[in-house]
Amino acid sequence: MALAGKEIKLIIGCDCEPVGDPIGPAAFSRRGRRENWDLAVRSLRTLTERLKTAVPSEFAPKLTILLRSDTYMNDVFGDYAYCARASYEFFDGLRSEGHEIGWHPHLWRWLNDRWTAEVNDVSFMKDCFGRGFNCLSDYFQAKSVRTGWNFMSNEIMYTLESLGLQADFSAQPGIKFQEITQGYGCDWIGAPTDFYFPSRGDYRTRSATDAVHLLEMPITLTETPDLVRWIRPIADRFRKIQRVPSRYEPLNIAKNLMFNKAAFFEAVSKCNARGMSCILTSFHPSDLTHARLFSMDFFIINMKFLVSLCRKEGVRLIGMTATQAAEEFLVTNSQE
């Protein structure tokens, strides 16, 4: 029996994009493969059906599906909002079941016959985001966003604010990496681990007086198992990634439970101390199609583990969308 007041809020984002972004050989092709998008939708359809029977309805998670809409999608599929248009009925159906549809823009740019992460040309970035958001708005009114590669800059923050978005959950506190060949990466060194309104001078800093009107909701971190932490520099060298070492990594709900247990126990102990805690996590449709570190089975296993842990500890597990969590935070904070 759950104790009154003890609850964990669970927010699950899905960076919803075709399986196989322009990485590896695909980095040199400007042709999009529709079957990669169809595979993403098929995986999500199967997952949402499986969740209905695998998880008791009172613990049912709500997904925040963040649809791609950006210059890359327009270049390869002829429509910024291809994902929303091609699969409108499926996503509208999920929305009517209580899930949320948000936005996931990337900054890929076709330059010198290959896809490159454009993280410097501010006018390209503004155009990509402005057009991407407007085209998605023909189908869904997105209020929440997660950026590709979790990339962020002050200019991107201002752009997201100007588009009227309410919540961003790109932040990964303490995580900084840079891929060398294509140029993608992110820098969240020093960012708070709980919700905050970012300073106009530095998106990684909380500001009470001069803040961007967009709530930043950082992804929950989990402690990386020691063995993986030792192996990571080798894998990074192979993938041409420079990384600031961290004991932690962002929680992915479709990753092997071995990685996620530490964050689940941490959420329960915070909840026991404060009466409430929050788990923010994310996954990609491509994670569901794997069968090693990530898989659809791991998503289900993680959910079942979390439900049984919460039952044992007498904690309510409440599935929420990103916008619901942001709105609840704003109401609670305005009362304080």
- Chain residues binding Zn ion by CB under 5 A are 15, 17, 148
C-beta closer to Zn ion: residue 149 or 299: 149
Q: Are 7 and 316 in contact (CB under 8 A)?
A: yes
User: For residues 16 and 268, which CB has a smaller minimum distance to Zn ion in the complex?
Assistant: 16
CB of 303 to Zn ion, least distance (A): 22
Minimum distance, C-beta of residue 73 to Zn ion, in the bound complex (Å)? 11
CB closer to Zn ion, 83 vs 94: 83
Token pair for 116 = 């490159």
SS3 assignment, position 118: coil
Say if CB 285 and CB 19 are below 8 A apart. yes
Measured distance CA(58)–CA(60) in Å, rounded: 6
Helix (H, G, I), strand (E, B) or coil at 268: helix
- Residue 69 or 277: the one with the smaller Cβ distance to Zn ion is 69
CB of 146 to Zn ion, least distance (A): 8
Q: How far is the CB of 317 from Zn ion (least distance, A)?
A: 27
Q: With CA atoms as reference, report the closest residue to 169 among 191, 185, 189.
A: 191
- How far is 32 from 49, CA to CA, in rounded Å? 28
Q: Are 87 and 41 in contact (CB under 8 A)?
A: yes
The closest alpha carbon to 15, from 136, 124, 117, 146, belongs to: 146
Q: Which is nearer to Zn ion, 7 or 17 (CB)?
A: 17
Minimum distance between the CB of residue 105 and Zn ion, rounded to whole angstroms? Answer: 9
How would DSSP label each residue in 133-165? HHHHTTT----EE--GGG---HHHHHHHHHTT-
The DSSP output letter for 106 is: -
**Of 148 and 250, which CB lies nearer to Zn ion in the complex structure?**
148
Q: How far is the CB of 21 from Zn ion (least distance, A)?
A: 6
